[in-house]
Chains A and B, each alone.
Chain A
Amino acid sequence: MLNIAVIIAFTLIVIAQVLNLYRLFNGPSLPDRILALDNMYIDAIALFILVGIHFSSKAYFEAALIIAVMGFISTVATSKYLTRGDILE
């Protein structure tokens, strides 16, 4: 049962990643692309968790956690660059 759920989830997330990629490449504006990258981070968290479930391993949980922290900061930094140019002021 879990296996089927994991497979479905994998499929959906991968489709989401491809759509993210489309938005990333096509924009049209910079905020669109930044959002696309941010979405990719979030989907990556899902992928990590799914990999963990798939391998029945706890080792991937922290990686997902780190992406959650780092992806957020990365998006903040990029957005700050867009609005102010200078990210440390």
Chain B
Amino acid sequence: MNIALIALLPLLGAFIPCLFYNRNLNAASAGVIAGFSLLLLLLQAPAVFSGDIPLYTRSWIPAMGLTFAFRVSGFGFLFALLVLGIGLLIVLYARYYIAAEDPMGRFYTYLLFFMGSMLGIVLSENLLLLMVFWELTSISSFLLIGFWRDRTDARQGAFMALVITAGGGFAMLAGFLLLGHIVGSFELTDILAAGQIVQAHPLYPVTLILILAGAFTKSAQFPFQFWLPHAMAAPTPVSAFLHSATMVKAGVFLLALLVPVLSGTALWFTIVTATGLITLVFAAYMAMFKDDLKGLLAYSTVSHLGLITFLLGLGTPLAVFAAVFHIFNHAAFKAGLFLLAGIIDHETGTRDILRLSGLKKTMPVTAALTVIGSGAMAGVPLFNGFLSKEMFLAETLAPGLTGAWSWILPAGAVLAAAFAVAYSIRMLHGVFWGKPAEDLPSHPHEPPVGMILSPAFLMAVCVLVGIFPAFFAGPLVKAGAGAILGPDMPPYHMAVWHGFNMALILSIIALAGGVVFYRQRQRLFDAHVWCSRNLDGKTLFESLVSQMVHIGEMVTGYTENGSFQRYSALLIGSALVLGVSPFVRDSAPFLGSVPLTIPDPVTLVMGLILISAAIATVVTHRIRILSIIMLGTVGLMVSLAFSRFSAPDLALTQISVELVTIILMMMALHMLPRITPKESSSCRKWRDIVLSVLAGGGAAAVMMAVLTRPFDTISDFFLAHSVPGGGGSNVVNVILVDFRGFDTLGEITVLVIAGLVIYALLHNFDITGPRTDAQGYPWSRDRFPIILVNITRPLLPLALLFSVYIFLRGHNDPGGGFIAGLITVAVLILQYIASGIVWTRPRFHFDNHVIMALGLIVALVTGFGSWVVGYPFLTSTFAYVTLPLVGKFEIASAMAFDLGVYLAVVGSIMLVLVKLGTINSSDAQIVSTTFQREKEIQKEGH
């Protein structure tokens, strides 16, 4: 369980920082949660370093192969340590970075959410579970990048990141499913052991390409690199976290994780190595020309990710070792550099290298730390970046490479390394040296101590690892690489001095080349201007997106022109075609063997009334009030039909729903034109008539054909199991609250959501009804007729009692929570109609929102209750109780669920009706606001 908690703590605790209004508490709570997680992780350290892989497995959806399983491999441990360690430093840093006017609680909530998702990726044992977390990182990084939501560039950057990474994630899901199909399991342990089976399988190339698409988009590999620089619109702590240790590293994490399964083939080598190399060189080249500090670092990140991808593409044990080492090193120095760039931005007001100059006088500590960071980034000896870069250069010279690869790889590597030196010098020299800038937005000074602590710690790591690699990073990297390579772990040598060899020569060439590039930068800039015009991924992406939107609009405009008649004509027409087509070649007789019954005269006459009222509804549809009255007649007749054919429950429901609908329509009608204008041409009218007659007649014919044939229904099952299984003899109600309780839960949830949405849509909705009635006479002055008022008030308790009765008997006789809720709504609304909102609203001392929410909570709690006693969600139970006076009666847990239904129905329908009633009467609005104010005053009083 501890292992699962490492990832779950930040996820579940994400909401906690949001609860505080104090900035220190925001940060502290986030820090405590991350700290706990780190502690749990460190508890696993002894096992991990001894080579074990602690596992935690619980079944989740076994039918899909999805288990709730976590593992701490050495590699996962290394990553989780980076995520949590750097995460904690970011938490500290952000406390000082995020401005007072920004919502700090929300920031930490997003951050923890992201942290948990990332931990989930690196600690998942099940591939599908990993996928879930993978998507969570896409969503949470979207929120983080778009944190400053009022800024266009932030929104665009966040959108682009989401589209690219989620799109890649989609491909990857397909790849995972294929992989699971090939191996027969989604557990990593099984998959990692099945490398040979996978590579021999005919689906291997497709699987590989799909998974690579996911990894490459996430890790911003060419040609998907462009989203990453635009994600720099995020607050700097976010960039530091996402683009050093976490988000973008998820892609290379996945590549490294699957090296034992997927690597070793020519396809893997070609795609991954080539992509890595192109990304490495191209991004390093681009980084040289970025004037924005964060833009420079972003491209540098892309380039370093390319380097890691490249190493994984080579796939040799030493290359994998170097990749893991570089993942660690890069996380340390890049996070630090981002934080330093944030400090510079924060204290000077700009991150433009062209404007910044000579800061080493005013910000000596920042300058010193940046020297370390850029030294590591450039690969200067004594810093950690140098060590992994040396290993990387040595790998490009590995003897296994043949043909053109043998010179393209080292040449590209050296070129990229030289670019890296050039942009590192540019960053350092441009910002801190030269004569002090005078036109900065704010006066530069050293940041508060809390802000400098985080980068200082990271830079200390860079130096210590750079000088004593075997001591500080050795065990960790060994455990990490060991987890990937298993028995193939190569002999490695981690030390500053490797002896005078080819790699060192290449390093020196790169350093010298970088200095030359920097000195000749003006010429490079001129050449670059030409390239940048043609090679901007953002413009391409945006034109692609806008074209897609354009096509979408065209399709939508053609199919969805806003005409409801057209939609229903299309819908009903296609239903007709689909419904009739099976019968075209069917030779079976229309009527089956069951004889027809002769209807009794009452039913016949009522049926005729029903039909004529239905036709009248259509005929009178222009005069809307008339049409509604006709509709009321139809509803009444339908409920009579229900009762005639022994469905009293349906009759009750039909009548109640009918009334609420009529009230709702009356309210809406008052704000709409009284007469529907003529819109249909006679041609269209005939089309509609033909369609409706065909559809109605067709449905009736099918019914007739079905009902005259002998058939088995599932009714018998419900009838047989209703009392023993659900403890109620009213089968309809038992189905609603017990057999299909989960459906009902979904339905009341939808009802509540609909209520909320309608409420939100009607909020601040300003509309006034007509001043006169249909004949042009002014409205009656008698707003609340005294007789009506005096009749309805005593009716309330009686009717409420009736609804309680209907509710209580519901389990065994016709009735139940839904009907009882509608009755309650009806009588409450009656009070509003008779006595007005001004009189009624203040007399109800409760909030419809609260009732509605309470209903959902009660229903949910009933459902969870069965978990507590070890049964599946919403299992119901019942018992018989005997009380004096009352006698023996039944208590069913489904009753509590029904209570939830009742409350949800009452709350949401009252919410909608009362809101609809208040929008056009000004004094009612005043009442509802004064009512709220009174409540606030009461609260303050308490």
Determine which of B609, B670, B788 lies in contact with A18 in the assembled complex, contact meaning CB atoms within 8 Å: B609
Q: How far is the CA of A17 from the CA of B607 in the complex (A)?
A: 12
Supposing A34-B629, A62-B814 touch, asked if A17 and B609 sit within 8 A by C-beta, the answer is yes
Q: Are B633 and A37 in contact (CB under 8 A)?
A: yes
Supposing A17-B609, A30-B626, A70-B656 touch, asked if A88 and B913 sit within 8 A by C-beta, the answer is yes
B780 surroundings in chain A (CB, below 8 A): 83-84
Q: Are B656 and A66 in contact (CB under 8 A)?
A: yes
B629 surroundings in chain A (CB, below 8 A): 24, 33-34, 37, 78
B164 within 8 A of A: no
The closest CB in chain B to the CB of A88 belongs to: B917
Q: How far is the CA of A70 from the CA of B819 in the complex (A)?
A: 12
B924 surroundings in chain A (CB, below 8 A): 88-89
24 intermolecular pairs with C-beta atoms under 8 Å apart:
A14-B602, A17-B605, A30-B625, A37-B633, A41-B636, A44-B636, A59-B814, A62-B648, A62-B814, A63-B639, A63-B651, A70-B656, A70-B658, A73-B663, A73-B826, A80-B833, A85-B670, A85-B779, A86-B769, A86-B917, A87-B666, A87-B833, A88-B829, A89-B836
Q: How far is the CA of A67 from the CA of B635 in the complex (A)?
A: 11
Q: Are B652 and A66 in contact (CB under 8 A)?
A: yes
Q: Mark B595-620, 1 if CB is under 8 A from A, else 0.
A: 00000011001100100110010000
Tell me the minimal C-beta distance from B672 to chain A in angstroms.
11
Q: Are B667 and A88 in contact (CB under 8 A)?
A: yes
Tell me the minimal C-beta distance from A74 to chain B in angstroms.
5
Supposing A14-B606, A70-B655 touch, asked if A47 and B826 sit within 8 A by C-beta, the answer is no
Q: How far is the CA of A51 from the CA of B651 in the complex (A)?
A: 13
Q: Are A17 and B625 in contact (CB under 8 A)?
A: no
Q: How far is the CA of A10 from the CA of B629 in the complex (A)?
A: 24
Q: How far is the CA of A47 from the CA of B601 in the complex (A)?
A: 13
A8 within 8 A of B: no
Q: Are A89 and B921 in contact (CB under 8 A)?
A: yes
Main secondary structure of the interface of B (DSSP, over half): helix
Tell me the minimal C-beta distance from B607 to chain A in angstroms.
11
Q: Are B602 and A73 in contact (CB under 8 A)?
A: no
Supposing A66-B652, A73-B826 touch, asked if A17 and B606 sit within 8 A by C-beta, the answer is yes
Q: Are A40 and B833 in contact (CB under 8 A)?
A: no
B640 surroundings in chain A (CB, below 8 A): 44, 47-48
B169 within 8 A of A: no
Determine which of B612, B648, B663, B773 lies in contact with A77 in the assembled complex, contact meaning CB atoms within 8 Å: B663
A86 surroundings in chain B (CB, below 8 A): 670, 769, 917, 920-921
16 more contacts with CB within 8 A, not counting A63-B643, A66-B656, are A14-B606, A47-B602, A48-B643, A59-B648, A62-B652, A63-B651, A63-B814, A66-B819, A70-B823, A74-B632, A81-B666, A87-B663, A88-B833, A88-B914, A89-B921, A89-B924
Tell me the minimal C-beta distance from B29 to chain A in angstroms.
46
Q: Are A81 and B636 in contact (CB under 8 A)?
A: no
The closest CB in chain B to the CB of A69 belongs to: B799
Supposing A60-B648, A74-B662 touch, asked if A21 and B918 sit within 8 A by C-beta, the answer is no
Supposing A14-B602, A69-B827 touch, asked if A85 and B656 sit within 8 A by C-beta, the answer is no
Determine which of B601, B813, B826, B918 lies in contact with A70 in the assembled complex, contact meaning CB atoms within 8 Å: B826
User: Size class of B's contact patch?
Assistant: 35 or more
Q: Are B625 and A81 in contact (CB under 8 A)?
A: yes
B498 within 8 A of A: no
Q: Are A77 and B833 in contact (CB under 8 A)?
A: yes
The residue among B833, B834, B918 with the most chain A CB atoms within 10 A of its own CB is: B833
Q: Are A83 and B769 in contact (CB under 8 A)?
A: no
Q: How far is the CA of A65 from the CA of B770 in the complex (A)?
A: 36
Supposing A33-B626, A37-B633, A77-B666 touch, asked if A67 and B779 sit within 8 A by C-beta, the answer is no
Q: Mark A13-57, 1 if CB is under 8 A from B, else 0.
A: 010011001001100001001100100110010011001000100
A18 surroundings in chain B (CB, below 8 A): 605, 609
Q: Are B815 and A88 in contact (CB under 8 A)?
A: no
Tell me the minimal C-beta distance from A82 to chain B in angstroms.
7
Tell me the minimal C-beta distance from A60 to chain B in angstroms.
6
B916 within 8 A of A: yes
Q: How far is the CA of A63 from the CA of B829 in the complex (A)?
A: 20
Q: How far is the CA of A55 from the CA of B667 in the complex (A)?
A: 39
Tell me the minimal C-beta distance from B819 to chain A in angstroms.
8
Q: How far is the CA of A76 from the CA of B834 in the complex (A)?
A: 8
B669 within 8 A of A: yes
B40 within 8 A of A: no
Q: How far is the CA of A40 from the CA of B810 in the complex (A)?
A: 27
The closest CB in chain B to the CB of A29 belongs to: B775
B940 within 8 A of A: no
Tell me the minimal C-beta distance from A65 to chain B in angstroms.
7
B652 surroundings in chain A (CB, below 8 A): 62-63, 66
Q: Are A62 and B667 in contact (CB under 8 A)?
A: no
Determine which of B663, B670, B815, B920 lies in contact with A62 in the assembled complex, contact meaning CB atoms within 8 Å: B815
Tell me the minimal C-beta distance from B795 to chain A in angstroms.
8
The closest CB in chain A to the CB of B798 belongs to: A69
B686 surroundings in chain A (CB, below 8 A): none
Determine which of B632, B782, B826, B918 lies in contact with A69 in the assembled complex, contact meaning CB atoms within 8 Å: B826
Q: Are A88 and B918 in contact (CB under 8 A)?
A: yes
B633 surroundings in chain A (CB, below 8 A): 21, 24, 37, 40
The residue among B663, B813, B916 with the most chain A CB atoms within 10 A of its own CB is: B663
B585 within 8 A of A: no
Tell me the minimal C-beta distance from B378 to chain A in angstroms.
74
Q: Are A81 and B670 in contact (CB under 8 A)?
A: yes
The closest CB in chain B to the CB of A25 belongs to: B616
A37 surroundings in chain B (CB, below 8 A): 629, 632-633, 636
Q: How far is the CA of A85 from the CA of B823 in the complex (A)?
A: 24
Q: How far is the CA of A33 from the CA of B584 in the complex (A)?
A: 46
Tell me the minimal C-beta distance from B614 to chain A in angstroms.
12
B630 surroundings in chain A (CB, below 8 A): 24
B15 within 8 A of A: no
Tell me the minimal C-beta distance from A51 to chain B in angstroms.
6
B residues 908-934 touching A (CB-CB < 8 Å) = 913-914, 916-918, 920-921, 923-924
Q: How far is the CA of A76 from the CA of B833 in the complex (A)?
A: 8
The residue among A51, A78, A86 with the most chain B CB atoms within 10 A of its own CB is: A86
B648 surroundings in chain A (CB, below 8 A): 59-60, 62-63
Q: How far is the CA of A48 from the CA of B652 in the complex (A)?
A: 11
Q: How far is the CA of A76 from the CA of B369 in the complex (A)?
A: 80
A83 surroundings in chain B (CB, below 8 A): 779-780, 782
B666 surroundings in chain A (CB, below 8 A): 77-78, 81, 87
Q: How far is the CA of A35 from the CA of B601 in the complex (A)?
A: 25
Q: Are B802 and A65 in contact (CB under 8 A)?
A: yes
The closest CB in chain A to the CB of B671 belongs to: A86
The closest CB in chain B to the CB of A33 belongs to: B629
The residue among B602, B779, B823, B917 with the most chain A CB atoms within 10 A of its own CB is: B602
Q: How far is the CA of A81 from the CA of B602 in the complex (A)?
A: 33
B832 within 8 A of A: yes
